[in-house]
Amino acid sequence: MKNSKSKFLSFVKKYPLFKNFYYFYNIYIRNYKFLNNGSQFGEEKFIINFFDKKYKGKFVDIGCFHPTRHNNTYAMYKQGWHGLNIDLNPLSIELFNFARTKDINVNAAISDNEEIKKLYFVDELNTQNTLEINHLSFLKNHHNIKEEEISQQEIKTKRLDKILDKYNFNDIDFMNIDVEGHELHVLSSINFFKYRVKFICIEMIGHNDQAKQINEKLSNILNKNDYILEKQIGFNYIFKKNEKLDMTKKINKNLTAEQKLILFEDGTEMPGSSDLNSEKREGSYHCANCGEKLFDSNTKYESGSGWPSFYDSLPNAFETKTDTLLGYERVEYHCKKCGGHHGHIFEDGPNPTGKRYCNNGVCLTFKPEE
């Protein structure tokens, strides 16, 4: 979209009261043909076929560019999915705010550090704006962009994990990464133990030796985190999480059958069955699977529930999600490091928190204070 500086856009900049007319024109008239087929090479249709037609998932699109044109999540959005769209171009996010009101749309440049970086800027609504100087050779050779058409600006980058945490995006069905040569920096900022992503579509353009080396590093990171390549479509590579391999690596081989059932299949032990109910010594409580420290003994109390109970956990020990298995909403919590299920949080605990962490005893090991 090289020549996006239209007279209409210039007019809107001068008279901002007409900006909604421009947004409507851009999306529903100028880019009308993309309303039925948004992605460039059919990537979204390939992904969406892995899910039930009634399924309404979550996506994250980094380098989202346009709400319909060459967009890999628009079909998902029309099917009832919702997501987080991120782009460094302010005009892109304005268009998303107009057309994708159920999504969260964020104007940000994503990298592995928060710092001021050079932005090689072509146009305010252009897919080729980039943080990577090496990507300029691709722009010049393959898109016929001339040196004088590229200006340098400064932009403050953000880490992806900060944005995912802010909007509580931990379980993600599909992540699209298309940031014009900066993909390695984005991927390096993802903690794959914390953020569970089922599919990742990432642009990998091997236009020179340096780019090919970066692509190899991208593949190595994904393979290391148990992703397998499902399909290549154009410059886009679609990876799927190998859940069986990932779970096998996470599960401690020394766990009993009961521990595996509760930690990784959301089971529950019988009330009153844990020896930890009567444990009174000073010390700490750890995840039985990965050994992560979760509770201090001074937060343990007798709740009368039949399960070991605590009024507080250590900072960042757990992640939570809403559980409706019993027909009503409960707050389930699981080990942040390995994902093992531990129990539920109730609002009937003592001061100072008023909370009760109701923990399955077999999911914990106790280490007495030395």
- 236 and 266 both lie in a single domain: no
Amino acid in the structure at residue 111: S
Is residue 118 assigned to a domain?
Answer: yes
Taking CA atoms, 259 is separated from 206, 267, 290, in Å, by: 46, 9, 12
pLDDT digits (tens, 9 = 90+) for 41-78: 889 889 988 888 889 999 999 999 999 999 999 999 99
Distance CA 100, CA 78 (A): 10
pLDDT tens figures, 96-114: 999 999 999 999 999 999 9
CATH of the domain at 310: 2.170.150.20
Q: Residues 154, 236: one domain? A: yes
Are residues 266 and 195 located together in one domain of the fold?
no
Predicted pLDDT at 54: 87
Verify that 86 and 222 share a domain, yes or no. yes
Q: Are residues 183 and 302 in the same domain?
A: no
Element at 287 (helix H, strand E): strand 283-287
pLDDT of residue 127: 86
As a whole number of angstroms, the distance between CA 54 and CA 250 comes to 31
Pairwise pLDDT comparison (124 vs 157), residue with the higher score: 157
Q: What is the mean pLDDT of residues 270-298?
A: 97
Percentage with pLDDT > 90 across the chain:
70
Please indicate, yes or no, if residue 60 is contained in any of the structural domains: yes
163-205 pLDDT, tens digit per residue, is: 999 998 988 999 999 999 999 999 988 888 778 899 999 999 9
Tell which wins on pLDDT, 230 or 266: 230
In a domain, 231, yes or no: yes
In this predicted model, which residue has the larger pLDDT, 164 or 321? 164
Statement: residue 287 has pLDDT above 90: yes
Number of domains the chain is built from: 2
What's the pLDDT tens digit per position in 229-256? 999 999 999 999 987 656 555 788 899 9
Task: Give me the percent of the chain exceeding a pLDDT of 70.
Answer: 97
Q: Do 130 and 27 fall within a single domain?
A: yes
Does residue 146 register a pLDDT over 80?
yes
What pLDDT sits at residue 248? 58
Is residue 198 domain-shared with residue 144, that is, in the same domain?
A: yes
2 is a domain residue? no
DSSP labels, 81-95: -EEEEEES-HHHHHH
- pLDDT (0 to 100) of residue 101: 97
- CA separation for the pair 39, 34 (Å, rounded): 8
Q: Are residues 224 and 152 in the same domain?
A: yes
pLDDT digits (tens, 9 = 90+) for 206-234: 999 999 999 999 999 998 888 999 999 99
Please report which residue ranges of the chain form alpha helices under DSSP H. Answer: 7-14, 19-24, 43-48, 74-78, 90-99, 135-142, 160-166, 183-187, 209-224, 243-250, 257-265
Cα–Cα dist 71/264, whole Å: 36
Could you tell me the sign of the dihedral formed by the alpha carbons of 275, 277, 281, 284, in that order? positive
User: Pick from 186, 211, 246: which residue ends a domain?
Assistant: 246
Do residue 281 and residue 237 come from a single domain? no
Both 271 and 231 in a single domain? no
Q: Determine the structural domain holding residue 153 and report its residue range.
A: 7-246
Q: Which residue among 212, 246, 280 closes a domain?
A: 246
Residue 4, pLDDT score: 45
Active site residue 358: yes
Residues 141 and 185 in one domain: yes
pLDDT value for 144? 80
Q: Is 153 exposed, middle or buried (0-12, 13-18, 19+ CB in 10 A)?
A: exposed
Reported as a single tens digit per residue, the pLDDT across 353-367 is: 999 999 999 999 999
Alpha carbons 85 and 92: distance in angstroms, whole number? 10
Residue 249's pLDDT is 57
How far is residue 324's CA from residue 333's CA, in Å, rounded to a whole number? 13
Mean pLDDT over all residues of the chain?
91
Q: What is the pLDDT of residue 306?
A: 97
Q: Which of 200, 226, 246 is the last residue of a domain?
A: 246
From the candidates 64, 287, 338, 358, give the one annotated as an active-site residue: 358
